[in-house]
Amino acid sequence: MKGTMMGATTMSDVRTYPRRWWAFSVLSLCLLVVALDNTVVNVALPTLVRDLGATGSELQWIVDVYVLVFAGLLLIAGSISDRIGRKRVLLAGLLIFGVGSVGSAFAGTASHLIALRALMGVGGALIMPSTLSITTNMFSGKERGRAIGVWAGVGGIGIIIGPLLGGWLLQRFWWGSVFLINVPVIVVALVAGLALIPESRDPHPKGLDVVGALLSIVGLGALLYGIIEEPSRGWGDRQIQVTLGAALVLLVAFVLWERWTRAPMLDLRLFRSAHFTVATVVLTLLAFALLGAMFFLTQYLQFVLGYSALETGVRLTPLAVTLFVGAALSARLTERVGAKVTVTLGTVICAGGLAILALASTSGGYGVVAWSLAVMGLGMGAAMAPATDAMMGALPLAQAGAGSGVNQATKQVGGALGVAVLGSILSSAYQGAIADVAQRLPAPLAAVVRDSVGEAMAVAGRLGGVPGAALTHAAATAYTSAMGTAVLVGAGFALVGAVVALIFLPSTPPKQVGEEQSQAETQTPRETPVGV
């Protein structure tokens, strides 16, 4: 079997690699640590106010800058990994993420922490697409479907257990521990990755598309900035309108440039594949529904049901458990009934889980939430894994990095949109439901009470006695009613994804471009890939 230049492996070398499941375990560890950092810092925000004197705006950017940088760089990170080597980019990302984690743990000011979280976002952007593209290249056929099922489950679990791990650490250590916990994991991943993960790249790389890279980074960054800032500023804010308008212009320019240039960063012909395009749409809508729901569910658990941050994290675990189960089982189900049926069924189940959450009340306790999370996670896992497999299976193996970047970028945008759109719906419904109570308060307090349920609960605590209890009940009732409206809208978006999958996702699995060519090159299987 021929090896590619500079010690890299051919595609068939990698896919017959005997230590592929050991290598996959390292990739899963890398994925877990990146996914955790999407949410683990959330529970530390009150402590950062006390210890670093962080303002409300600084708290928002401590959370958002990671997502903004991470998502903005995904496309170019995936494209670069195809060109210079996916293992090389993964290891570089781990090093950058580790440096950012150590720096964040010992940051002396909020502004320093924001800058170091941005650095962690750079590392995360290099790590995340590499984990999926290397997995796609190491496995084929049924094994790839099973591996991607586990990959999807690990990613979902990381996001969910972030608050749980963060709450546990904060009860025992200082706030920097939520970042420092990354370091031993990264050290293990680096050492094991060097030994176990095979290198792969596009065997015929083109020159780097600098113009396309800049347009995608600035365009995606502007889009996400506008979406992230919208909940606090509103859709009518001029800065939001200008930012989103600029994002639209830049992303349209990116598409036009990619169609014109001879060496595009992202080959737009990929979207001619129904597998690739439909799976992208479904994954975006699922991320929209899930992350939008999680945004207001955590507030419901804390402000309405009165759980602490750690208790809230514990009560989110049904979603993590069933998501992993659904993702693991989806490969078997797909082998029997096909991706079309599995993705459609999983998306419908996810929508059903969201609809169950609309039954939550101020006095019904945690039971409805637990059932909602369990059903939602099962459907999410069942749908995401085969959708991801269909998307990556439609790609030429040489472009797995770029495709993985698209996969992650669309999910990040979908999640950010879910928080913004569903958050806006919830905010409007809450303000309408609390209006009668708020208008009986002095004007300054009324404005605060209408702003959010958290602010209303703080005012109620200061009032105390009968007035405070009445306001607490009114705010909890208004928020629960508003959440019911928002989750039904989220369920509607998930159902749209199910309809798209049912109508447009092909019944037959995709034929991976380049697979036959690489297999034709195979003479005698090599025990260890070149360059590992």
pTM of the model: 0.76
Comparing 528 with 25, the larger pLDDT belongs to: 25
Query: What is d(CA 363, CA 347) in angstroms, rounded to the nearest whole number?
Result: 29
pLDDT for the residue 430? 84
DSSP state of 197: P
Report which of 208, 190, 210 is spatially closest to residue 88, judged by C-alpha positions: 190
Torsion region of 490: left, alpha or beta (phi above 0 gives left; psi -120 to 50 gives alpha):
alpha
Are 412 and 129 contacting, i.e. CB atoms less than 8 angstroms apart?
A: no
- pLDDT tens sequence across 63-109: 777 877 887 787 788 778 777 888 888 999 999 999 999 998 898 88
Cβ neighbourhood burial of 332 (10 Å; 0-12, 13-18, 19+): middle
Are 417 and 286 contacting, i.e. CB atoms less than 8 angstroms apart?
A: no
- pLDDT tens sequence across 211-237: 877 887 788 778 877 876 776 677 778
Are 189 and 30 contacting, i.e. CB atoms less than 8 angstroms apart?
A: yes
- β-bridge partners, 200: 9
Residue 9 confidence (pLDDT) above 70: no
Average pLDDT over the chain reads 79
Q: Could you count the other beta carbons within 10 Å of the beta carbon of residue 478?
A: 25
9 phi, psi to nearest 5 deg: -95, 155
pLDDT band at 4 (very low <50, low <70, confident <90, very high): very low
Report which of 206, 217, 214 is spatially closest to residue 264, judged by C-alpha positions: 206
Query: What is d(CA 24, CA 337) in angstroms, rounded to the nearest whole number?
Result: 26
Are 438 and 450 contacting, i.e. CB atoms less than 8 angstroms apart?
A: yes
- 3-state class (DSSP) for residue 524: coil
Are 301 and 369 contacting, i.e. CB atoms less than 8 angstroms apart?
A: yes
